[in-house]
Homo-oligomer: A and B are copies of this chain.
Amino acid sequence: MSPTDRIRSPELLAKVMSAAEAAALIPVGANVGMSGFTGAGYPKAVPQALADRLAALHAAGDTSARIGLWTGASTAPELDGALAKADGIEMRLPYQSDPTCRALINAGKMHYTDMHLSHVAQFAWFGFLGKLDVAVVEVVAILPDGRLVPSTSVGNNKTWLDQADKIIIEVNELQSAGLEGMHDIYYGTEIPPHRKPIPMLHTGDRIGEPYLRCDPKKVVAVVRTSQADRNSVFAAPDAVSEQIAGHIMEFLQHEVKAGRLPPELLPLQSGVGNVANAVLSGLNQGPFENLTAFTEVLQDGMLEMLRSGKLSFASATALSLSPAATAEFNANIDFYRQRIVLRPQEISNHPELVRRLGVIAMNAMIEADLYGNVNSTHIMGSSIMNGIGGSGDFARNGYLSFFVTPSVAKGGAISCIVPMVSHVDHTEHDVQVIVTEQGLADLRGLAPTQRAKLIVERCAHPSFRPQLQDYIDRAARGAPGLHTPHLLSEALSWHTRFLETGHM
């Protein structure tokens, strides 16, 4: 491929250099906003070159040489992994899922600020996160006037390009040129008091432009790459996931019958993972037609539903496909471009839009407690898993909010239904329906003690039910108040028992 195929601006073509040369332009101590959302559209070369540079500085005795790393959400080994292995990250936000990164955070060696994904861009504009110094953004192509064709994720790229003093662009020639036209970048957001309504009424509405604006004067480097996204293999749903999906399907049918949902449902939001795939698979074989999605990430399952026609349109901020699905997507990109729009995450997750559209939110969790509080982020109260991501944006503002998990973990040693969660990400006020493979608890309108009864009966694993019921019974006698009866001296004892004995 000739460089001019993808880099059509002569001004920017003149700034092509190696990843190492580009990485040298990032000041030590800078806050760097990088592209990337769920392993899609992240820069592939500059972060690794930067990691090498920081490692060399550390080896030379400058052990504090690090950056602040801001992204859309999680990325990949070439970004989070490489920089974490080099101990090159001082502060990470707003989401991560890399094993090395996580290990450093939980060792107290890296700061991590876990934020609602809809808050990130605006907090950057407000100046609440400090100055953004450098943007490193992967794109598919550069237009003659310097505008950018976004890649497989949009994330916070618009904000990084706007806010950073210096911009480094990676042009990834392996990403399909056919992505051009699939994006919708909304430039109508403002800082209060100048904000206006976001003019979107349906998931498919295009309210912006297909390109990212970019001031060519701020661009200090253009780096050519040709490397695939972190494409995870699509795991076929297991039995537990299928049971959870089955409960959700049954519930949705029941709600349609009761007149509380239209036959085509409402726009679907689905987290990432096994259960999400099982739900999508269930929907693809189910009775609902003309579905839509207003979500963060499009997985293989959504593509299947677009192909089958069950899903008529999908809005997201990123793709997260298996290698096989990527090949199929690229081969049929004209079909998908009519049915998919990729937006900035401030729009894909915007409370105004999630509430207006009436999104049906389905998110995984680590554990729930008797009263419907949900922990999405912490293992045993202290260690971060990934982060809250967009689950709060959707759960708080959606029409319906499901939280799902298998009822037990670690081969049955851990109950995912506990007396009190060890960390709260979604409060009792934001959790409507809890689902495990055991069943579904519809908590809408219920008081705490009513919720507890239902959650134990429907969702807890039978091996932990008697123990939970015992806690409820004794709390009803011994708690200092009976609105949310707790025995605080043992509310977290299930977690401490696990830490001590390896079993709850």
Listed in ascending order, the chain A residues whose CB lies under 8 Å from chain B are 91, 93, 105-108, 111-116, 119, 123, 126-130, 191-193, 195-199, 201-202, 258-260, 262, 266-267, 351-352, 355-358, 373, 378-384, 388, 392, 396-397, 399, 422-430, 432, 444-447, 449-450, 475-476, 479-486, 488-489, 491-493, 495-496, 499
Known contacts A127-B260, A193-B358, A266-B192, A382 near B482 by CB under 8 Å:
yes
A383 to B448, CA, bound (A): 11
A202 to B113, CA, bound (A): 32
Chain B residues contacting A483 (CB-CB under 8 Å) are 105-106, 108, 112, 378, 382-384
Chain B residues contacting A198 (CB-CB under 8 Å) are 197
B193 touches A351 (CB 8 A): no
A123 CB to closest chain B CB, in angstroms?
Answer: 7
For A119, give the chain B residue with the smallest CB separation: B429
Chain B residues contacting A357 (CB-CB under 8 Å) are 192-193, 195
Chain B residues contacting A493 (CB-CB under 8 Å) are 489
Number of copies of this chain in the oligomer?
Answer: 2
B352 touches A481 (CB 8 A): no
Chain B residues contacting A107 (CB-CB under 8 Å) are 482
Chain B residues contacting A476 (CB-CB under 8 Å) are 108
A488 to B477, CA, bound (A): 23
Known contacts A201-B196, A382-B484, A358 near B266 by CB under 8 Å:
no
B399 touches A192 (CB 8 A): yes
Chain B residues contacting A351 (CB-CB under 8 Å) are 351-352, 355, 396-397
Which of B196, B378, B450 lies in contact with A111, CB distance below 8 A? Answer: B450
Sample of 13 further A-B pairs with CB below 8 A, known A107-B482, A383-B483, A489-B496:
A105-B483, A111-B446, A116-B430, A127-B260, A128-B445, A192-B358, A195-B201, A352-B356, A373-B424, A382-B482, A383-B480, A392-B429, A488-B496
A424 touches B427 (CB 8 A): yes
For A128, give the chain B residue with the smallest CB separation: B444
For A350, give the chain B residue with the smallest CB separation: B355
